[in-house]
Amino acid sequence: MADADLLVEEVSAYLKPQDVEHVREAIEFSRAAHQGQMRQSGDPYVTHPIAVARILINLHLDVQAIVAALLHDVVEDTDTTSEQVAEKFGKPVAELVDGLSKLDRFQFETHEDAQAENFRKMLLAMTRDVRVILIKLADRLHNMRTLEAMALDKCKRIARETMEIYAPIANRLGLNDIYRELQDLSFKHLYPIRYAVLSKALKVARGNRREVISKILDAIRQRLADQHIQADVTGREKNIYSIYKKMRSKSLAFSEVLDIYGFRVLVNDFASCYVAMGVLHSLYKPIPGKFKDYIAIPKVNGYQSLHTTLFGPFDTPIEVQIRTHEMHKIAAAGVASHWLYKSGHLLINDLHEKTHQWLQELLESLSQSSDSSEFLEHLKVDLFPDEVYVFTPKGKILSLPRGATAVDFAYSVHTDIGNRCIAVKVNHELVPLRTELRNGDRVEVITAPNAKPNPSWLGYVTTSKARSHIRHFLKTMQSGESALFGERLLNQALHSLGIKPQDMDEAHWNRLLKDTGIKTRQEMLADIGLGRRLNMVVARQLARVGDAVPGEAAANAVITIQGTEGMAVEFAKCCHPISGDPIVGVIKSGHGLVVHTHDCPTLRKGRSSGEQWLDVVWDKNINRNFDVNIKLVVANQRGVLAKVAAAIAGAESNIENVKFANEGEYTALYFTLEVSNRLHLAKVIRSLRKIPEVVRIVRAWTQE
């Protein structure tokens, strides 16, 4: 078998003879297990694991990884068990194979659910052993190379999954060659016509520009030799997908993409990188703003290089990468360089540690996702294509995805810092928390002990760590506050039935939980607070009193709104009730209690299905501020807005928002103000009426 012989020959170049013998045994074991199985292409199935193993040999992975690659489908697709693999090849190999096996034994409602659980299992295995993902990437690469045999719809689904998840993972792990090939193969199957057109155009351009490329190569080599710099200089062609991305992002025709070729300069040592860059800048003028130093500040995947773009001959922009031979090897192998060199190289060890930390943080974030779509969203968000590098006040460099905000930075420092964040300084200046960070920014987070995450942060954070921790905190807080409010609702229902809540002992609760299938009392109370269960129904079930209860008893019960219920009680945005307003409570499933004014326009439209209305009143000692909307019609005169703002401030109210609408000689001002109650609002209105330019004041339901 030619492929098997080639594999043995290639693996013999770096493994010990006894390890090579293990590989031979794994080939025969895999061949026997897959006997009679064929691929969609018509080839014997065993050709696939052999091809996967040969991809990994290029990364010089150890014998356990090569053997696991050869056996990666035997547990999933044959009668072979993990125990048999462990007995024959050892427990580490069996664990690698198990980490790669899909969850076929479970039934999932949708493909998305199955996909999410497979990724979750794979990530868990990766945190224990990163070789799992290296084998998986090699497996996916060979499948992509032979995808033509699949049905068209399955082809596109696999290609899209590869483009969105597997290619970015390869990039994040520094496997540059695998990353670019996965991109091109995905593009080929997602957009076959575009791929064919670009591929043909690239072949034509390759011939037309051969003379220019040759001239530039000769000029670079000669200038470096004149300066006594030993260097290997090569030209490289950009991959088709990166050319397509540039055409799309900049709306260019193929003929307008001049930099389809780049140049790579490999030198012997660190210092020569910067000397070579200076030499090239004297040969061709550099384009301002197109220089990046990834040597001083390596990418998170361990990549190190100098990047510069020059004005070449014939107005051709030249992209040049300059790095040492060692940096080049790490750029190709990424995290796999650990097996490629087996040395105490500091960068490789640091890369390995960072990769493990990233996997742990990603898994921690994803473990808090409540459903498959949220899980996959976090996964895709975290596999970012580009980074910005920012500094802590002590000078530590942190890498964040492009578009990351100050809140993302706070969570990247520590979860508690993110949760308690109230303000941020960027380059010593206070800026809004939604500010996007740029390369080189110095960021300082200001915290407060009692601060909490704001739900609005979810609108602008970009990292999965920040997003998942904010959601987790809000869900936990809502559950706790809903349980407290649910207890009040349940006690009110029990009182209306003539039952003392303290008489409902553990036996009553245990029987109720057993009958309803709910695990804890806390969960039951949270369901009541969120409107998922009616308090009167639960009260009857708890007390076992049946339906022979006077119907009017529940109607006489009133809920007191204290203003400290947190997320369990929501004040309706349609009418902005404030303390002192006549109010009514509406319980909506999943939302808890929503408080409206009794004459709210939304309530006038009628009761929706699934709503429970409750009598609610304000607590006499309520102590909090409320948002309220007012509309002022004022004469168009200079300085009127300043007078209005001063009057509002003089009445001890804050302006949350303001909008304008011109009405000829007059202007309508729509304010959202903070007031403590109706008396405070009346004080504000009295203060505004003293302004001569104010023609009319009304309380508005919304900011029109």
d(CA 222, CA 268): 17
Residue 461 lies in a domain: no
Residue 125 lies in a domain: yes
pLDDT at residue 697, as a whole number: 93
d(CA 630, CA 576): 11
pLDDT at residue 108, as a whole number: 44
Residues 608 and 685 reside in one and the same domain: no
Active site residues: 76-77
Q: Which of 190, 212, 233 is the last residue of a domain?
A: 190
d(CA 502, CA 555): 22
Tokens of 618: 């304000």
pLDDT at residue 608, as a whole number: 59
d(CA 639, CA 625): 28
d(CA 61, CA 71): 15
Domain CATH for 657 = 3.30.70.260
Greater confidence (424 vs 470) lies with 424
CB contact at 8 A, 559 and 529:
no
300 contact partners, CB below 8 Å, separation of at least 6: 172, 354, 358, 387, 399
Residues 603 and 687 reside in one and the same domain: no
* Predicted confidence (pLDDT) per residue in 598-644, tens digit: 888 777 676 655 567 777 888 888 888 888 999 999 988 888 888 99
pLDDT at residue 544, as a whole number: 64
Query: Using 50, 70 and 90 to split pLDDT, how confident is the model at 551?
Result: very low
Residue type at 475 in one-letter notation: K
Q: Is 228 left (phi over 0), alpha (psi -120 to 50) or beta?
A: left
Residues 285 and 145 reside in one and the same domain: no
H-helix or E-strand spanning residue 189: helix 176-190
Task: List 672's β-bridge partners, or say none.
Answer: 629, 657
Sign of CA dihedral 300, 301, 306, 312: negative
d(CA 195, CA 202): 10
Residue 439 lies in a domain: no
Residues 72 and 220 reside in one and the same domain: no
Residues 89 and 163 reside in one and the same domain: yes
Q: What phi and psi, each to the nearest 5 degrees, are found at residue 520?
A: -135, 160
Domain CATH for 259 = 3.30.460.10
Give CB contacts under 8 A, 24+ apart, made by 36-44: 37/77, 37/78, 39/146, 39/149, 40/146, 40/149, 40/150, 41/146, 41/148, 41/149, 42/149
Tokens of 277: 């860059």
* Predicted confidence (pLDDT) per residue in 94-146, tens digit: 888 887 775 444 444 556 666 666 666 666 666 667 788 889 899 999 999 98
d(CA 193, CA 200): 11
32 pLDDT higher than 80: yes
pLDDT at residue 193, as a whole number: 92
Q: Which of 341, 360, 378 is the last residue of a domain?
A: 341
H-helix or E-strand spanning residue 667: strand 666-675
Q: Is 80 left (phi over 0), alpha (psi -120 to 50) or beta?
A: beta
d(CA 241, CA 234): 21
Please state the domain count of the chain.
Answer: 4
Task: List 5's β-bridge partners, or say none.
Answer: none
d(CA 465, CA 461): 9
Residue 381 lies in a domain: no
Tokens of 574: 């349609």
pLDDT at residue 58, as a whole number: 85
Residues 270 and 151 reside in one and the same domain: no
Residues 176 and 44 reside in one and the same domain: yes
701 pLDDT higher than 70: no
Greater confidence (355 vs 227) lies with 227
Token pair 């990039």 in the structure block, residue: 171
* Predicted confidence (pLDDT) per residue in 348-386, tens digit: 556 556 665 666 665 555 555 555 555 555 555 555 446
CB contact at 8 A, 435 and 424:
yes
DSSP tag of 239: P
Residue 450 lies in a domain: no
pLDDT at residue 409, as a whole number: 92
d(CA 198, CA 248): 13
* CA-CA-CA-CA dihedral for 197, 40, 164, 264, to nearest 10: -60
pLDDT at residue 513, as a whole number: 78
Residue 310 lies in a domain: yes
The percent of residues in the chain predicted with pLDDT above 70, rounded, is 80
49 contact partners, CB below 8 Å, separation of at least 6: 30, 34, 69, 70, 71, 72, 73
pLDDT at residue 105, as a whole number: 43
CB contact at 8 A, 247 and 258:
no
Among 355-359, 645-649, 695-699, whose mean pLDDT is lowest?
A: 355-359
Residue 144 lies in a domain: yes
Residue 427 lies in a domain: no
CB contact at 8 A, 2 and 46:
no
Among 50-64, 377-391, 475-489, 549-563, whose mean pLDDT is lowest?
A: 549-563
- Taking residues 16-20, what's their average pLDDT? 89
Residues 37 and 179 reside in one and the same domain: yes
Q: What is the mean pLDDT of the chain?
A: 80
- Taking residues 169-183, what's their average pLDDT? 85
Residues 564 and 665 reside in one and the same domain: no
Residues 232 and 329 reside in one and the same domain: yes
pLDDT at residue 594, as a whole number: 84
CA atoms within 13 A on the CB side of 639: 4
Residues 128 and 66 reside in one and the same domain: yes
Find which of 192-196, 465-469, 542-546 is predicted with most confidence, using mean pLDDT: 192-196
Greater confidence (345 vs 397) lies with 397
Greater confidence (540 vs 30) lies with 30
* CA-CA-CA-CA dihedral for 46, 49, 54, 57, to nearest 10: -140
pLDDT at residue 121, as a whole number: 65
CA atoms within 13 A on the CB side of 105: 4
Query: Using 50, 70 and 90 to split pLDDT, how confident is the model at 333?
Result: low
Q: Which domain holds residue 173?
A: 2-190
488 pLDDT higher than 90: no
- Taking residues 210-226, what's their average pLDDT? 86
Q: Which of 161, 190, 219 is the last residue of a domain?
A: 190
Tokens of 153: 């719809």
* Predicted confidence (pLDDT) per residue in 257-299, tens digit: 766 778 999 999 889 999 999 999 999 888 887 888 888 888 7
623 contact partners, CB below 8 Å, separation of at least 6: 563, 676
d(CA 632, CA 700): 9
d(CA 209, CA 317): 13
Query: Using 50, 70 and 90 to split pLDDT, how confident is the model at 186?
Result: very high
Token pair 């299905």 in the structure block, residue: 609
d(CA 47, CA 4): 8
Residues 505 and 643 reside in one and the same domain: no
Kindly tell me the burial class for residue 675, based on how many C-beta atoms sit within 10 Å of its own C-beta (0-12, 13-18, 19 or more).
buried
